Amino acid sequence: MEVIIVFAQRPFNKPTNNNDQHLFYFEVKIIEKAENQNCYVGIGLDYKVGTYIRGVGSNVGDVYGCALVFPAMNEKKKLPFYFCTENGSRDSGNTYVLNEEGDSFRPFVKLRSCSVEINFGNNLDSKPFTYDITKNI
């Protein structure tokens, strides 16, 4: 079974007037697995000099998230970073600093033998995130 990669239509762009920290976030929920097949889901951010990916689980109903944080401009020595979530909890508190300054990251989902539902937060009233992003505001 082939692996499929789906990219978001729009990237997460660094704000031009960045006086505050900015957080971008999306979640992926596994909604169905193919019978007698090994399901694989990975989530990540694509950037012109590399790809940041995290392999995640394969259980129906699990929800995985990826957050990208651009530090405020007055924190000049800080680079953008990301963290992942699993079923509404931060992934062991791990934070991954990106190797260099970036200004545009395209979210993606990599999958095999399963169906997923992706939430970019377009309507949080009817479809809230599983992870409470206000913990990071």
What pLDDT, in 10s, does the model give residues 96-107?
888 766 788 999
In the chain, how many domains are there?
A: 1
Structure tokens at 121: 């937060």
Identify the residue whose tokens are 């989530």.
Answer: 43
Which tens digits make up the pLDDT trace of 74-121? 876 678 888 999 999 986 667 888 876 678 899 999 998 999 999 999
The enclosing domain of 126 has a CATH number of: 2.60.120.920
- Closest Cα to residue 26, out of 78, 76, 82, 80? 82
* Least confident range of 10-19, 27-36, 91-100: 91-100
What is the extent of the structural domain holding 44?
4-136
Query: Please, which residues have CB within 8 angstroms of residue 47's CB and are 6 or more apart in sequence?
Result: 98, 102, 104, 105, 106
pLDDT at 17 over 80: no
Residue 137: per-residue pLDDT? 59
**Residues whose CB is less than 8 angstroms from the CB of residue 50 and which lie 6 or more positions away in sequence, other chains included:** 99
Q: How far apart are CA 125 and CA 23, in angstroms?
A: 19
Backbone φ, ψ for residue 16 (5° rounding): -80, -35
Backbone angles phi, psi at 124, to 5 degrees: -70, -15
